[in-house]
Structure 1
Amino acid sequence: MQRALATHERQLLEFLLTVNRSFYGAYVQRWEAQIKTCLVHEVIVPYCLAISHDEIRLPSGGYTTLARELIGIDEGVPLLIYAYAVETQSGYVLDSFDIDRLDGEPLVAYPEPGDSLMIMEAGKRIGGADLRHVFKESDLLPRFKLPRDRLDGEAG
């Protein structure tokens, strides 16, 4: 069943978009507008939300996790907070928003946006709370930048 984002869900997703602003630029403005009116539906669990959009994914189009993810803690267990974007004819749109409690158990307390969350990029802490004692750093390849021409008409 589709529904609007709850206030606490929208606030957390807005925070995730804010920490990704320097990486994705004008796409973030588009995504912020998208989540103001979008509908979502739960996929298997209440914390995996598919974001409805009228756009059709390009057959060979990209599907990527946003470059920066958030780490939180719920009863001592790390949470991974992230979103996916999918390529459509009009550019990239948000496709899902997920919170994974890494022990597979249901959330006890919904994470709040802000300084209590650790910001990660390419497996490394780049800001926010220092939660490396519960979520270790790793060496991951950096995410690719989204093409600008799909959003603002500039060539490559």
Structure 2
Amino acid sequence: MTTSRNLARHERELLLFLIETNAPLYGALADRWLDQINSCKVREIDSSLFLAVCHDQATEDSGCDAYTLRRELIGIDEGVAVLAYVQIMKTPTDDLIDIFSIDRLDGKPLKHYPSPGPELMIMELGKRIGGADWRNVYKESDFPFPSQRP
């Protein structure tokens, strides 16, 4: 079993930025997620860039579904797109942050951890909606996403 740890400062800052970017879509849930990251512990799953938030066993057992936050972040590392996203675990009583992941999309090791701010591209449902314009390395999707509520 992997040991748990606190979020590192750079991880917490990027996760905070990602939650704040999604806050207009999720309202009070985003407020609860901000509270959650202030005290959460994480476990590294296969790498220090794929983090699972630790929950008590009763919460883990009650997880009944999951979804990815609608807004994701794209950064650049040595000319390669880097995707930052959060997966939420649904339980009968709450939606909780479950996974926080940073993926360099060529599979190579990350050299420069993304910094929160305007140098990140904000994507929603496969389309750029703000931030930097990195569409030259991360294409928008032509997939016809169904209309959905957050």
Q: TM-score when scaled to structure 1?
A: 0.88
Paired residues, what number? 145
Amino acid in structure 1 at the alignment position of 2:46: I
> What residue in structure 2 maps to residue 110 of structure 1?
113
Q: Supply the RMSD in Å over aligned alpha carbons.
A: 1.5
Q: CA deviation at 1:10?
A: 0.3
Structure 2: tracts of 5 or more residues without a match: none
Deviation sequence 1:42-89 (CA, Å, 0-9, x none): 100110000112223546x22001000000000111001000001113
CA–CA distance in structure 1, aligned partners of residues 146 and 127 of structure 2: 10
Structure 2 distance, partners of 1:142, 1:83, is 20
| Structure 2 residue corresponding to 1:56, chosen from 50, 54, 60 | 60
- Please point out which of 76, 85, 88 is paired with 1:85: 88
The aligned counterpart of 1:70 is: 73
Corresponding position of 1:39 = 41
Q: TM-score, normalised by structure 2?
A: 0.91
Q: 1:78 and 1:68 mapped to 2: Cα distance?
A: 16
What fraction of aligned residue pairs are identical, expressed as a percent? 51
Q: CA offset at residue 143 of structure 1?
A: 7.5
One-letter amino acid matched to 1:33: D
How far off its partner does 1:95 sit?
0.2
Query: After TM superposition, what 4+ stretches of structure 1 lie above 2 angstroms from structure 2?
Result: 56-59, 142-146
Unpaired stretches in structure 1, ≥5 consecutive residues: 147-156
Residue in 1 that maps onto 2:137: 134
